[in-house]
Structure 1
Amino acid sequence: MYRTSDSEQDSGGGTAVLRPRGAVPPRAAEFGRRVEEKVARLELVVDLGARIGSREWWRGLATCTALCASAIAFWPHLPLLTPAAPAAMSTAEWQEVRAIGVAPLALGADTGRRLAATAAVRPLLDTPERPTIDLTATLGRGDGFVRVLERSGVAAGEAEAVAAMVAQAVPLAEIAPGTRLDVTLGQRADRGQARPLEALAFRARIDLKLGVTRVDGRLRLVRTPIAIDATPLRIRGRVGSGLYMAARAAGAPAKAVEAYLRALGSRLSIGRDVHPNDRFDIIVERTRAATGEVQLGKLLYAGLDQARGRVQLLEWTIDGRRQWYAASGVGERRGLMRQPVIGRISSGFGWRRHPVLGFSRLHKGMDFAAPYGSPIVAAADGVVRFAGWHGGHGKYVSIQHGGGLGTGYGHMSRIVVPAGANVAQGQLIGYVGSTGLSTGPHLHYEVYRGGAAINPATVSFVTTSQLAGAELARFRSVLAGLMAVGEAGPVRTAAGDLRPGA
Structure 2
Amino acid sequence: MRRKRPRGEPDVFLPPLSGPNPLAPRRPPRKKRPAGRPLRVAAAAALVVLLIAAAVLVFRPFGPGREIVPAVDSAESLQPAEPGPTTVEEVILPGETLSEILGNEGLSPAQIDALVRQVRPVFNLARIVSGRTVKMTFAPSGELLSLDYPIDESQFLLVTRTGEGYAAEKKAYAYETRPVYVHGVIDEHLYGAVLAGGEKAGLAIELEQIFGWDIDFYAGLRTGDAFRVLVEKKYLDGRFQRYGDILAAEFWNDGRRIEACRFDYEEGGSLKSGYFHPDGRSLRKEFLKSPLQSYRITSRFSSRRLHPVRKVFRAHYGVDYAAPVGTPVFATADGRVEEAGWKGGAGRMIRLSHKNGYETIYMHLSTILVRAGQRVEGGQRIGKVGSSGESTGPHLDYRIKRFGSYLNPLSAKFMPVAPLPARWLPDFQKRAAALRVVLGAPLRITGSFR
Query: What's the TM-score, normalizing by structure 1?
Result: 0.42
TM-score (norm 2): 0.45
